[in-house]
Amino acid sequence: MKNVFGKVTTLETVLAFFHDGMSLMFGGFGGVGSPPTIIDGILEKGIRNITLIGNDTGFPQIGIGRLVSEERAAKVIASHIGSNPFAGKMMQDGRLEVEFSPQGILAERIRAGGVGLPGILSDIGMDNEIVVTNKPKLSLNGKEYLVESALTADVSIVYAKKADEYGNLIYDKSARNTNPLVAMAGEITIAEVEEIVPLGSLDPEEIITPGVFVDYVIPTKGVNWKWAWE
Amino acid sequence: MGMGIDIRNKLARRAAEEIHHGMVVNLGIGIPSLVPNHLSKEVTVMFHAENGITGMGPSPRKGEEDENLCNAGGFPVTLNTGGSYCDSTVAFAMIRKGRVDITILGSLEVSEKGDLANWIVPGKKVPGMGGAMELAQKAKKVIVLMNHCDKQGNPKIVKECTLPLTSSRCVDLIITELAVFQVTDQGLLLTELFPPYDMEEVVKKTGCDFDICEEIRNISY
Protein backbone atom coordinates (compact mmCIF):
# COMPACT_ATOMS: atom_id res chain seq x y z
CA MET A 1 0.00 0.00 0.00
CA LYS A 2 1.28 3.46 -0.87
CA ASN A 3 0.10 5.40 2.19
CA VAL A 4 -0.33 8.46 -0.06
CA PHE A 5 -1.61 10.69 2.74
CA GLY A 6 0.74 9.48 5.43
CA LYS A 7 -2.24 8.71 7.69
CA VAL A 8 -1.58 5.01 8.13
CA THR A 9 0.82 4.69 11.02
CA THR A 10 1.66 2.82 14.20
CA LEU A 11 0.53 2.93 17.81
CA GLU A 12 4.00 4.17 18.83
CA THR A 13 3.68 7.19 16.53
CA VAL A 14 0.23 8.27 17.68
CA LEU A 15 1.09 7.85 21.36
CA ALA A 16 3.05 11.11 21.03
CA PHE A 17 -0.31 12.94 21.05
CA PHE A 18 -1.27 11.64 24.49
CA HIS A 19 -0.21 13.62 27.55
CA ASP A 20 -1.13 14.14 31.20
CA GLY A 21 -4.13 16.41 31.71
CA MET A 22 -5.44 15.89 28.19
CA SER A 23 -9.06 15.67 27.14
CA LEU A 24 -9.83 12.38 25.40
CA MET A 25 -13.01 11.53 23.58
CA PHE A 26 -13.71 7.87 22.90
CA GLY A 27 -16.16 5.91 20.80
CA GLY A 28 -17.99 2.96 22.27
CA PHE A 29 -21.09 1.90 24.17
CA GLY A 30 -20.53 -0.46 27.10
CA GLY A 31 -17.09 -1.13 25.66
CA VAL A 32 -18.51 -2.29 22.31
CA GLY A 33 -16.77 -0.22 19.66
CA SER A 34 -13.98 1.12 21.89
CA PRO A 35 -10.40 0.83 20.56
CA PRO A 36 -8.52 -1.75 22.67
CA THR A 37 -5.01 -1.22 21.29
CA ILE A 38 -4.95 2.55 21.85
CA ILE A 39 -6.39 2.10 25.36
CA ASP A 40 -3.58 -0.37 26.06
CA GLY A 41 -1.05 2.16 24.76
CA ILE A 42 -2.41 4.91 27.02
CA LEU A 43 -2.16 2.57 30.01
CA GLU A 44 1.39 1.56 29.17
CA LYS A 45 2.53 5.12 28.56
CA GLY A 46 1.28 6.05 32.03
CA ILE A 47 -0.94 8.98 30.97
CA ARG A 48 -2.86 10.49 33.92
CA ASN A 49 -5.39 13.18 34.84
CA ILE A 50 -7.38 12.56 31.69
CA THR A 51 -10.76 14.17 31.06
CA LEU A 52 -12.71 11.37 29.43
CA ILE A 53 -15.68 12.17 27.21
CA GLY A 54 -17.89 9.36 25.97
CA ASN A 55 -21.15 7.49 26.38
CA ASP A 56 -20.26 5.52 29.52
CA THR A 57 -17.33 4.23 31.56
CA GLY A 58 -17.57 0.66 30.26
CA PHE A 59 -16.93 -2.19 32.64
CA PRO A 60 -13.92 -2.34 35.02
CA GLN A 61 -11.84 -4.44 32.61
CA ILE A 62 -13.63 -3.56 29.37
CA GLY A 63 -13.15 -0.59 27.06
CA ILE A 64 -12.40 2.82 28.52
CA GLY A 65 -13.32 1.34 31.92
CA ARG A 66 -9.74 0.09 32.16
CA LEU A 67 -8.44 3.68 32.29
CA VAL A 68 -10.96 4.50 35.01
CA SER A 69 -10.11 1.39 37.05
CA GLU A 70 -6.42 2.27 36.93
CA GLU A 71 -7.21 5.78 38.14
CA ARG A 72 -6.06 7.55 35.00
CA ALA A 73 -9.11 9.78 34.74
CA ALA A 74 -9.63 13.02 36.69
CA LYS A 75 -12.97 13.81 35.12
CA VAL A 76 -15.60 11.97 33.13
CA ILE A 77 -18.37 13.42 30.98
CA ALA A 78 -20.77 10.54 30.32
CA SER A 79 -24.39 9.45 30.44
CA HIS A 80 -23.83 6.40 32.61
CA ILE A 81 -21.20 4.94 34.95
CA GLY A 82 -23.32 2.17 36.49
CA SER A 83 -21.56 -0.75 34.81
CA ASN A 84 -18.21 0.31 36.27
CA PRO A 85 -18.30 0.19 40.09
CA PHE A 86 -14.80 1.74 40.24
CA ALA A 87 -16.14 4.91 38.67
CA GLY A 88 -18.93 5.15 41.25
CA LYS A 89 -16.54 4.46 44.12
CA MET A 90 -14.04 7.09 42.95
CA MET A 91 -16.83 9.59 42.43
CA GLN A 92 -18.06 8.97 45.98
CA ASP A 93 -14.54 9.35 47.35
CA GLY A 94 -14.15 12.66 45.53
CA ARG A 95 -11.34 11.36 43.34
CA LEU A 96 -13.27 11.50 40.10
CA GLU A 97 -15.35 14.40 38.86
CA VAL A 98 -18.38 13.19 36.92
CA GLU A 99 -20.61 15.28 34.68
CA PHE A 100 -23.76 13.43 33.63
CA SER A 101 -25.52 14.24 30.42
CA PRO A 102 -28.63 12.49 29.04
CA GLN A 103 -27.41 9.93 26.52
CA GLY A 104 -28.87 11.36 23.32
CA ILE A 105 -28.03 14.91 24.35
CA LEU A 106 -24.46 13.87 25.10
CA ALA A 107 -24.25 12.41 21.60
CA GLU A 108 -25.62 15.66 20.14
CA ARG A 109 -23.15 17.73 22.17
CA ILE A 110 -20.35 15.64 20.71
CA ARG A 111 -21.89 15.97 17.26
CA ALA A 112 -22.14 19.75 17.70
CA GLY A 113 -18.45 19.84 18.57
CA GLY A 114 -17.76 17.81 15.47
CA VAL A 115 -19.80 19.95 13.10
CA GLY A 116 -18.43 23.27 14.29
CA LEU A 117 -21.42 24.50 16.30
CA PRO A 118 -21.08 25.99 19.81
CA GLY A 119 -24.02 24.13 21.32
CA ILE A 120 -27.56 22.90 20.97
CA LEU A 121 -30.97 23.70 22.45
CA SER A 122 -32.62 20.91 24.38
CA ASP A 123 -35.83 20.28 26.31
CA ILE A 124 -34.59 17.03 27.85
CA GLY A 125 -34.39 16.87 31.65
CA MET A 126 -35.47 20.47 32.25
CA ASP A 127 -37.18 19.36 35.45
CA ASN A 128 -34.04 17.61 36.65
CA GLU A 129 -31.62 19.40 38.93
CA ILE A 130 -28.55 17.49 37.78
CA VAL A 131 -29.26 18.23 34.14
CA VAL A 132 -30.03 21.96 34.50
CA THR A 133 -27.20 22.92 36.88
CA ASN A 134 -24.95 25.66 35.49
CA LYS A 135 -26.66 25.73 32.11
CA PRO A 136 -28.16 28.88 30.62
CA LYS A 137 -31.77 28.84 29.45
CA LEU A 138 -32.96 30.44 26.27
CA SER A 139 -36.42 31.29 25.05
CA LEU A 140 -37.24 30.51 21.43
CA ASN A 141 -40.65 30.79 19.77
CA GLY A 142 -42.29 31.10 23.17
CA LYS A 143 -40.73 28.00 24.69
CA GLU A 144 -37.85 27.73 27.09
CA TYR A 145 -34.88 25.49 26.35
CA LEU A 146 -31.60 24.50 27.94
CA VAL A 147 -28.41 25.52 26.20
CA GLU A 148 -26.20 22.45 26.06
CA SER A 149 -22.60 23.26 25.14
CA ALA A 150 -20.73 21.47 22.39
CA LEU A 151 -17.95 19.04 23.31
CA THR A 152 -14.57 18.66 21.66
CA ALA A 153 -11.33 17.07 22.82
CA ASP A 154 -7.58 17.18 22.30
CA VAL A 155 -7.75 13.68 20.87
CA SER A 156 -10.61 11.47 19.69
CA ILE A 157 -10.14 7.71 19.47
CA VAL A 158 -12.51 5.50 17.50
CA TYR A 159 -12.83 1.87 16.51
CA ALA A 160 -13.85 0.90 13.00
CA LYS A 161 -14.09 -2.22 10.87
CA LYS A 162 -12.27 -0.87 7.83
CA ALA A 163 -10.32 2.20 6.84
CA ASP A 164 -8.77 3.08 3.54
CA GLU A 165 -5.55 5.07 3.21
CA TYR A 166 -7.45 8.34 3.42
CA GLY A 167 -9.11 7.35 6.70
CA ASN A 168 -12.57 6.78 5.20
CA LEU A 169 -14.27 4.54 7.74
CA ILE A 170 -16.93 1.90 7.87
CA TYR A 171 -18.04 0.36 11.14
CA ASP A 172 -19.33 -3.01 12.28
CA LYS A 173 -22.99 -3.36 13.33
CA SER A 174 -23.76 -1.92 16.77
CA ALA A 175 -20.07 -1.12 17.28
CA ARG A 176 -20.78 2.02 15.23
CA ASN A 177 -22.70 3.71 18.11
CA THR A 178 -20.94 6.98 19.07
CA ASN A 179 -17.87 6.44 16.87
CA PRO A 180 -18.92 8.55 13.84
CA LEU A 181 -19.66 11.51 16.14
CA VAL A 182 -16.52 11.15 18.22
CA ALA A 183 -14.50 10.89 15.00
CA MET A 184 -15.61 14.41 14.02
CA ALA A 185 -15.12 16.11 17.38
CA GLY A 186 -11.41 15.65 18.11
CA GLU A 187 -8.67 18.15 17.38
CA ILE A 188 -6.78 15.02 16.39
CA THR A 189 -8.72 11.89 15.47
CA ILE A 190 -7.14 8.47 15.55
CA ALA A 191 -8.98 5.47 14.13
CA GLU A 192 -8.05 1.96 15.23
CA VAL A 193 -9.30 -0.46 12.63
CA GLU A 194 -9.63 -4.15 11.94
CA GLU A 195 -8.56 -3.84 8.33
CA ILE A 196 -6.70 -1.19 6.30
CA VAL A 197 -7.46 -1.27 2.59
CA PRO A 198 -6.13 0.62 -0.45
CA LEU A 199 -7.90 3.71 -1.78
CA GLY A 200 -10.83 2.72 -3.94
CA SER A 201 -11.53 -0.51 -2.05
CA LEU A 202 -14.46 0.88 -0.07
CA ASP A 203 -17.78 1.52 -1.78
CA PRO A 204 -18.14 5.33 -1.63
CA GLU A 205 -21.87 4.89 -0.88
CA GLU A 206 -21.07 2.87 2.21
CA ILE A 207 -18.50 5.12 3.87
CA ILE A 208 -19.90 6.39 7.18
CA THR A 209 -17.08 8.69 8.28
CA PRO A 210 -15.33 10.61 5.49
CA GLY A 211 -11.56 10.48 5.90
CA VAL A 212 -11.52 14.30 6.14
CA PHE A 213 -12.19 13.88 9.86
CA VAL A 214 -9.56 11.21 10.44
CA ASP A 215 -5.90 12.17 10.97
CA TYR A 216 -4.34 8.80 11.69
CA VAL A 217 -5.19 5.15 11.16
CA ILE A 218 -3.61 2.32 13.07
CA PRO A 219 -4.24 -1.43 12.91
CA THR A 220 -5.91 -3.05 15.91
CA LYS A 221 -4.48 -5.98 17.81
CA GLY A 222 -8.08 -6.91 18.62
CA VAL A 223 -10.13 -6.99 21.76
CA ASN A 224 -8.03 -8.20 24.69
CA TRP A 225 -10.71 -8.22 27.35
CA LYS A 226 -13.35 -10.77 28.31
CA TRP A 227 -16.89 -9.56 27.68
CA ALA A 228 -19.40 -9.58 30.54
CA TRP A 229 -21.46 -12.20 28.69
CA GLU A 230 -18.54 -14.58 28.02
CA MET B 1 -37.21 -8.24 41.44
CA GLY B 2 -38.27 -10.98 43.82
CA MET B 3 -41.05 -12.18 41.56
CA GLY B 4 -41.60 -15.74 40.40
CA ILE B 5 -41.07 -16.31 36.71
CA ASP B 6 -44.80 -16.86 36.17
CA ILE B 7 -45.69 -13.46 37.62
CA ARG B 8 -42.95 -11.75 35.62
CA ASN B 9 -44.34 -13.32 32.47
CA LYS B 10 -47.89 -12.27 33.40
CA LEU B 11 -46.77 -8.66 33.47
CA ALA B 12 -44.83 -9.07 30.24
CA ARG B 13 -47.85 -10.69 28.57
CA ARG B 14 -50.11 -7.84 29.62
CA ALA B 15 -47.61 -5.30 28.30
CA ALA B 16 -47.43 -7.22 25.01
CA GLU B 17 -51.17 -6.54 24.53
CA GLU B 18 -50.29 -2.87 24.04
CA ILE B 19 -47.99 -3.61 21.12
CA HIS B 20 -49.49 -3.60 17.65
CA HIS B 21 -48.17 -4.58 14.26
CA GLY B 22 -45.63 -2.16 12.80
CA MET B 23 -44.77 -0.36 16.03
CA VAL B 24 -41.32 0.77 17.10
CA VAL B 25 -40.71 -0.44 20.65
CA ASN B 26 -37.89 0.14 23.13
CA LEU B 27 -37.57 -2.31 26.02
CA GLY B 28 -35.75 -1.73 29.29
CA ILE B 29 -33.82 -4.42 31.12
CA GLY B 30 -35.47 -6.94 33.48
CA ILE B 31 -39.14 -7.87 33.04
CA PRO B 32 -39.56 -5.71 29.89
CA SER B 33 -37.06 -7.97 28.13
CA LEU B 34 -39.59 -10.82 28.43
CA VAL B 35 -42.24 -8.97 26.41
CA PRO B 36 -41.20 -10.23 22.94
CA ASN B 37 -41.93 -13.82 24.03
CA HIS B 38 -45.61 -12.87 24.33
CA LEU B 39 -46.20 -11.26 20.95
CA SER B 40 -48.42 -13.15 18.50
CA LYS B 41 -46.95 -14.35 15.22
CA GLU B 42 -49.05 -11.82 13.29
CA VAL B 43 -47.39 -8.90 15.08
CA THR B 44 -44.11 -7.74 13.58
CA VAL B 45 -42.48 -4.85 15.40
CA MET B 46 -39.14 -3.09 15.21
CA PHE B 47 -37.35 -3.27 18.53
CA HIS B 48 -35.22 -0.18 19.04
CA ALA B 49 -31.98 -0.04 21.02
CA GLU B 50 -30.34 3.22 22.11
CA ASN B 51 -26.94 2.13 20.87
CA GLY B 52 -28.15 2.19 17.28
CA ILE B 53 -30.19 -0.88 16.37
CA THR B 54 -33.65 -0.82 14.81
CA GLY B 55 -35.10 -4.29 14.33
CA MET B 56 -33.23 -5.98 17.16
CA GLY B 57 -33.82 -9.74 17.40
CA PRO B 58 -33.50 -12.30 20.20
CA SER B 59 -30.27 -13.43 21.86
CA PRO B 60 -28.11 -15.64 19.64
CA ARG B 61 -27.43 -19.26 20.48
CA LYS B 62 -24.42 -19.90 22.67
CA GLY B 63 -21.30 -19.85 20.54
CA GLU B 64 -22.95 -17.67 17.87
CA GLU B 65 -22.51 -14.35 19.68
CA ASP B 66 -21.05 -11.41 17.76
CA GLU B 67 -19.13 -9.05 20.04
CA ASN B 68 -20.03 -6.15 17.74
CA LEU B 69 -23.77 -6.82 17.86
CA CYS B 70 -25.01 -6.10 21.37
CA ASN B 71 -27.98 -4.38 22.97
CA ALA B 72 -27.74 -1.21 25.07
CA GLY B 73 -26.91 -3.35 28.12
CA GLY B 74 -23.89 -4.81 26.34
CA PHE B 75 -25.31 -8.28 25.76
CA PRO B 76 -25.30 -10.09 22.40
CA VAL B 77 -28.42 -9.86 20.26
CA THR B 78 -29.33 -10.53 16.64
CA LEU B 79 -30.81 -8.43 13.85
CA ASN B 80 -34.22 -9.24 12.42
CA THR B 81 -34.98 -9.05 8.70
CA GLY B 82 -35.38 -5.41 7.72
CA GLY B 83 -33.32 -4.21 10.65
CA SER B 84 -30.65 -1.54 10.44
CA TYR B 85 -27.79 0.09 12.31
CA CYS B 86 -27.27 3.79 12.96
CA ASP B 87 -25.14 6.03 15.16
CA SER B 88 -26.24 7.20 18.62
CA THR B 89 -27.60 10.57 17.46
CA VAL B 90 -29.90 8.88 14.97
CA ALA B 91 -31.00 6.33 17.58
CA PHE B 92 -32.02 9.22 19.84
CA ALA B 93 -33.46 11.21 16.95
CA MET B 94 -36.01 8.39 16.64
CA ILE B 95 -36.89 8.85 20.31
CA ARG B 96 -37.01 12.66 20.45
CA LYS B 97 -38.86 13.00 17.15
CA GLY B 98 -41.61 10.77 18.52
CA ARG B 99 -40.96 7.79 16.26
CA VAL B 100 -40.73 5.34 19.15
CA ASP B 101 -44.29 4.22 19.82
CA ILE B 102 -43.79 2.49 23.15
CA THR B 103 -41.12 2.26 25.79
CA ILE B 104 -41.52 -0.36 28.50
CA LEU B 105 -39.41 0.07 31.61
CA GLY B 106 -39.12 -0.71 35.28
CA SER B 107 -39.38 1.88 38.05
CA LEU B 108 -38.70 2.49 41.72
CA GLU B 109 -41.69 4.81 42.15
CA VAL B 110 -44.47 6.24 40.01
CA SER B 111 -46.69 9.08 41.20
CA GLU B 112 -50.41 9.50 40.59
CA LYS B 113 -49.54 12.18 38.04
CA GLY B 114 -47.32 9.79 36.10
CA ASP B 115 -44.01 11.09 37.43
CA LEU B 116 -41.29 8.48 36.94
CA ALA B 117 -38.44 7.90 39.41
CA ASN B 118 -36.23 5.09 38.21
CA TRP B 119 -32.65 6.29 38.10
CA ILE B 120 -31.31 6.94 41.61
CA VAL B 121 -31.54 4.52 44.53
CA PRO B 122 -30.99 6.53 47.71
CA GLY B 123 -27.86 5.66 49.66
CA LYS B 124 -26.38 3.89 46.66
CA LYS B 125 -24.08 5.09 43.94
CA VAL B 126 -25.42 7.38 41.27
CA PRO B 127 -25.29 5.44 38.00
CA GLY B 128 -26.29 8.22 35.62
CA MET B 129 -29.46 8.58 33.60
CA GLY B 130 -28.30 6.90 30.40
CA GLY B 131 -31.08 7.22 27.86
CA ALA B 132 -33.94 6.99 30.36
CA MET B 133 -34.83 10.69 30.35
CA GLU B 134 -35.23 10.91 26.59
CA LEU B 135 -37.24 7.70 26.47
CA ALA B 136 -39.52 8.69 29.34
CA GLN B 137 -40.04 12.19 28.03
CA LYS B 138 -40.39 11.52 24.32
CA ALA B 139 -41.66 7.99 23.62
CA LYS B 140 -45.31 8.18 22.54
CA LYS B 141 -46.40 5.76 25.26
CA VAL B 142 -44.54 4.95 28.47
CA ILE B 143 -45.44 1.68 30.18
CA VAL B 144 -44.04 0.83 33.60
CA LEU B 145 -43.77 -2.80 34.70
CA MET B 146 -42.92 -3.15 38.37
CA ASN B 147 -43.65 -4.76 41.71
CA HIS B 148 -46.59 -3.13 43.42
CA CYS B 149 -44.53 -2.63 46.60
CA ASP B 150 -40.83 -2.45 47.42
CA LYS B 151 -38.93 -5.09 49.38
CA GLN B 152 -39.99 -3.49 52.66
CA GLY B 153 -43.63 -3.62 51.57
CA ASN B 154 -43.97 0.12 50.93
CA PRO B 155 -46.16 1.20 48.01
CA LYS B 156 -44.28 2.13 44.84
CA ILE B 157 -47.34 3.89 43.43
CA VAL B 158 -47.48 7.11 45.43
CA LYS B 159 -49.02 10.56 45.61
CA GLU B 160 -45.63 12.26 45.21
CA CYS B 161 -42.37 10.51 44.41
CA THR B 162 -39.81 10.74 47.19
CA LEU B 163 -36.92 9.75 44.90
CA PRO B 164 -35.35 12.05 42.31
CA LEU B 165 -37.47 12.09 39.14
CA THR B 166 -36.30 10.73 35.84
CA SER B 167 -39.07 12.68 34.17
CA SER B 168 -42.33 14.24 35.34
CA ARG B 169 -45.82 13.42 34.00
CA CYS B 170 -44.61 10.89 31.46
CA VAL B 171 -46.06 7.48 32.44
CA ASP B 172 -49.18 6.32 30.59
CA LEU B 173 -49.76 2.82 31.95
CA ILE B 174 -48.65 1.00 35.13
CA ILE B 175 -48.71 -2.78 35.25
CA THR B 176 -47.97 -4.53 38.56
CA GLU B 177 -48.56 -8.07 39.79
CA LEU B 178 -51.80 -6.80 41.38
CA ALA B 179 -53.37 -4.48 38.87
CA VAL B 180 -53.23 -2.27 35.81
CA PHE B 181 -53.66 1.51 36.03
CA GLN B 182 -54.03 4.12 33.32
CA VAL B 183 -52.58 7.52 34.10
CA THR B 184 -55.14 10.18 33.15
CA ASP B 185 -55.29 13.95 33.57
CA GLN B 186 -57.47 13.32 36.62
CA GLY B 187 -55.05 10.85 38.19
CA LEU B 188 -54.91 7.07 38.21
CA LEU B 189 -57.66 4.85 36.84
CA LEU B 190 -57.65 1.19 37.81
CA THR B 191 -58.81 -0.84 34.83
CA GLU B 192 -57.70 -4.40 35.51
CA LEU B 193 -56.96 -6.81 38.32
CA PHE B 194 -54.78 -9.90 38.44
CA PRO B 195 -56.76 -12.48 40.50
CA PRO B 196 -56.45 -13.68 43.23
CA TYR B 197 -55.77 -10.06 44.17
CA ASP B 198 -58.87 -7.96 44.81
CA MET B 199 -59.69 -4.29 45.13
CA GLU B 200 -59.25 -4.28 48.89
CA GLU B 201 -55.68 -5.51 48.57
CA VAL B 202 -54.86 -2.98 45.83
CA VAL B 203 -56.25 -0.09 47.90
CA LYS B 204 -54.23 -1.26 50.89
CA LYS B 205 -50.99 -1.48 48.92
CA THR B 206 -51.30 1.70 46.85
CA GLY B 207 -49.93 4.97 48.22
CA CYS B 208 -52.49 7.28 46.61
CA ASP B 209 -56.15 7.50 45.72
CA PHE B 210 -57.30 6.21 42.36
CA ASP B 211 -60.47 6.01 40.31
CA ILE B 212 -61.95 2.67 39.42
CA CYS B 213 -63.08 1.74 35.95
CA GLU B 214 -66.78 0.86 35.65
CA GLU B 215 -66.05 -2.50 34.15
CA ILE B 216 -62.99 -4.04 35.75
CA ARG B 217 -61.29 -6.73 33.74
CA ASN B 218 -60.02 -9.67 35.71
CA ILE B 219 -57.02 -10.93 33.81
CA SER B 220 -57.29 -14.69 33.56
CA TYR B 221 -53.79 -15.66 32.48
Q: Write the CATH number for B187.
A: 3.40.1080.10
Q: What is the pLDDT of residue A59?
A: 96
Contacts of B40 (CB under 8 A, 6+ apart): none
Helices marked H in B52-185: 88-96, 132-138
Helices marked H in B120-164: 132-138
> Which range marks the domain in which residue B49 is found?
5-218
Give me the percent of chain B exceeding a pLDDT of 70: 97
Residues of chain B in Cβ contact (below 8 Å) with chain A: 49-53, 65-77, 79, 85-89, 91-93, 95-96, 125-131, 133-134, 137-138, 164-168
**What pLDDT digit, counting tens, does each position of A9-45 carry?**
999 999 999 999 999 999 999 999 999 999 999 999 9
**Cis peptide, bond prior to residue B164, ω within 30 of zero:** no
Residue type present at position B146: M
Residue of B nearest to A62 (CA): B74
Number of domains in chain B: 1
Q: What is the pLDDT of residue B1?
A: 45
Q: What is the pLDDT of residue B5?
A: 62
Tell me the C-alpha distance between A49 and A34, whole Å. Answer: 20
| Strand A169-170 to A186-197 pairing | unpaired
Tell me the C-alpha distance between A67 and A52, whole Å. Answer: 9
Q: Report helix, strand or coil for B145.
A: strand
Distances (CA, A) of A170 to A160, A167, A191, B192: 6, 10, 11, 50
Q: What is the pLDDT of residue A1?
A: 79
A106: distance to nearest CA of chain B, Å? 9
Identify the active-site residue in B17, B18, B42, B50: B50
**Cross-chain residue pair A107–B96, CB shorter than 8 Å:** no
Distances (CA, A) of A124 to A92, B24, B25, B196: 26, 21, 20, 41
Tell me the C-alpha distance between A5 and A167, whole Å. Answer: 9
Tell me the C-alpha distance between A208 and A159, whole Å. Answer: 13
The pLDDT of B159-168, averaged and rounded, is 94
Nearest to A92 among B125, B130, B134 (CB): B125
Tell me the C-alpha distance between B138 and B95, whole Å. Answer: 6
**What pLDDT digit, counting tens, does each position of B173-210 carry?**
999 999 999 999 999 999 999 999 999 999 999 999 99
The pLDDT of B127-147, averaged and rounded, is 96
**What pLDDT digit, counting tens, does each position of B33-42 carry?**
899 999 999 9
The pLDDT of B20-29, averaged and rounded, is 95
Q: Is the pLDDT of residue B3 over 80?
A: no
Q: Do A157 and A188 form a contact (C-beta atoms < 8 A)?
A: no
**Cross-chain residue pair B96–A111, CB shorter than 8 Å:** no
Catalytic status, residue B134: no
Per-residue confidence in pLDDT tens, chain A, 230 aa: 789 999 999 999 999 999 999 999 999 999 999 999 999 999 999 999 999 999 999 999 999 999 999 999 999 999 999 999 999 999 999 999 999 999 999 999 999 999 999 999 999 999 888 899 999 999 999 999 999 999 999 999 999 999 999 999 999 999 999 999 999 999 999 999 999 999 999 999 999 999 999 999 999 999 999 999 99
Q: Across all residues in chain B, what is the average pLDDT?
A: 94
Question: What are φ and ψ of residue B215, in 5° steps?
Answer: -115, 100
**What pLDDT digit, counting tens, does each position of B30-76 carry?**
889 899 999 999 999 999 999 999 999 999 999 999 999 999 989 99
Question: What is the third-level CATH fold of A11-219?
Answer: Glutaconate Coenzyme A-transferase (3.40.1080)
Closest CA to B218 of B37, B14, B39: B14
**Which residues from chain B sit within 8 angstroms of residue A177, using beta carbons?**
51-52, 87-88
